[in-house]
A = this chain, B = another copy of it.
Amino acid sequence: MFRNFKLVPNILFGRGCFAQLDEIVAGRRKSGGDWAVFVVDDVFKGKDLEKRVPLHDNDFLLWVNVADEPKTDYVDKLTLEAKHFNPALPCAIIGIGGGSAMDLAKSVSLMLTNEGSSTQYQGWDLIKNPAVWHAAVPTLSGTGAEVSRTAVLTGPEKKLGLNSDYTVFDQVVLDPELTAGVPKDQHFYTGMDCYIHCIESLQGTYINEFSKAYGEKSLDLCRQVFVDNHPDSADKLMMASFFGGMSIAYSQVGACHALSYGLSYVLGTHHGVGCCITFDTLDEYYPDGVKEFRTIMEKTGVDIPRGLAKDLTEDQMETMIRVALNLDPLWENCLGKDWKSIMTRDKARSLFEKI
């Protein structure tokens, strides 16, 4: 039984193509009362991009703060704000920002049409109704959130995404010019998120030729960006991110992402840097990948936070292990059906002790 993979059905790619966003959203405005929500990362407040958001009279500019990883209660609050702004359903929701802003846009578009709290839908295929039409404009490359079928959220019990076919964006606008201002460390961490999920996909037990073709090309593009310093790096990393997302969408991530979810849940560590921290402990499972990752890290001159384990309480360590081991498909992809006998609580603890 193979999964019928839902793809983003419309893609616009090109330097400067952000200028066409207004025209695309116009296609959704069927009547005079139709309104759109622009979910925008608040780092762009007062920046040039703010002026370029194609806001119409009835539209709602919903600034989002992603200093913390997206949380379920934040999603519920944003959804309520949109409902208060206008009780009618919007015709479009457009997420502009990095992985967190895109995941918030996905989440709000789902929660406007699905009752209750977003915590109820953390898991696989729990969403009941189609989302409001939603589009992504990534301003950061590597997350793969622009093509994935998940919106990763931290809830009171767990860090786990809203995984469903309805989560997938209806439109993606890929404009490499928008990634120009990304700080060096974030560029590295998020680029490595892409590199790492390709390694996890390619070495996973779920791999097929579809995921392999995407994963291999994504790695190739990552290397052109981080090893060769190619002059078209912004374009290439945007495509690496897209291909990386396509690769894991049909297969799955693995041990590094599972551990990083535990880490982020307990310490609030951001996803990209969290993946770098946990990947650095995984020589045993991804020897070549970890080796190349360290070479790139050295070349880039960015380092990762170290020595986190020594300040963890026993409770924190236990929670990290619980959250990480809760992600069955990730472990099964990495270690096979028998993963529970390999990745024991003690083994997971020994890995977290290295961070």
- Residues of A at the B interface (CB closer than 8 Å) are 1-14, 17, 20, 24, 171, 174, 176, 208-210, 212-213, 216-217, 220-221, 232, 235-236, 238-239, 243, 250
Q: How far is the CA of A280 from the CA of B235 in the complex (A)?
A: 33
- B residues less than 8 Å from A232 (CB atoms): 209
B12 touching A4 by the CB < 8 A rule? yes
- B residues less than 8 Å from A8 (CB atoms): 7, 9
Residue ID in chain B nearest A237 by CB atoms: B209
Shortest beta-carbon distance from A113 to chain B in Å: 19
**One of B1, B10, B217 near A7 (C-beta < 8 A):** B10
**20 pairs from A and B in contact (CB 8 Å cutoff):** A2-B17, A3-B12, A4-B24, A5-B12, A5-B13, A6-B10, A7-B9, A7-B11, A11-B210, A13-B208, A13-B250, A14-B208, A174-B210, A208-B235, A209-B235, A209-B236, A210-B239, A213-B217, A213-B221, A217-B217
- B residues less than 8 Å from A221 (CB atoms): 213
Shortest beta-carbon distance from A73 to chain B in Å: 33
- B residues less than 8 Å from A171 (CB atoms): 4
Residue ID in chain B nearest A250 by CB atoms: B13
Residue ID in chain B nearest A235 by CB atoms: B209
Shortest beta-carbon distance from A224 to chain B in Å: 10
**One of B10, B20, B212, B238 near A5 (C-beta < 8 A):** B10
**One of B5, B24, B217 near A216 (C-beta < 8 A):** B217
Shortest beta-carbon distance from A255 to chain B in Å: 24
Residue ID in chain B nearest A214 by CB atoms: B217
A20 touching B7 by the CB < 8 A rule? no
Residue ID in chain B nearest A8 by CB atoms: B7
Q: How far is the CA of A70 from the CA of B11 in the complex (A)?
A: 30
Shortest beta-carbon distance from A238 to chain B in Å: 7
Q: How far is the CA of A174 from the CA of B2 in the complex (A)?
A: 11
B6 touching A13 by the CB < 8 A rule? no
- B residues less than 8 Å from A17 (CB atoms): 2
A4 touching B11 by the CB < 8 A rule? yes
A2 touching B14 by the CB < 8 A rule? yes
Q: How far is the CA of A221 from the CA of B227 in the complex (A)?
A: 23
Q: Which 8 pairs from chain A and chain B are nearest by CB?
A: A2-B14, A209-B235, A9-B9, A217-B217, A13-B210, A213-B239, A2-B17, A4-B12
Q: How far is the CA of A221 from the CA of B236 in the complex (A)?
A: 20
- B residues less than 8 Å from A212 (CB atoms): 239
Q: How far is the CA of A270 from the CA of B220 in the complex (A)?
A: 35
- B residues less than 8 Å from A24 (CB atoms): 4
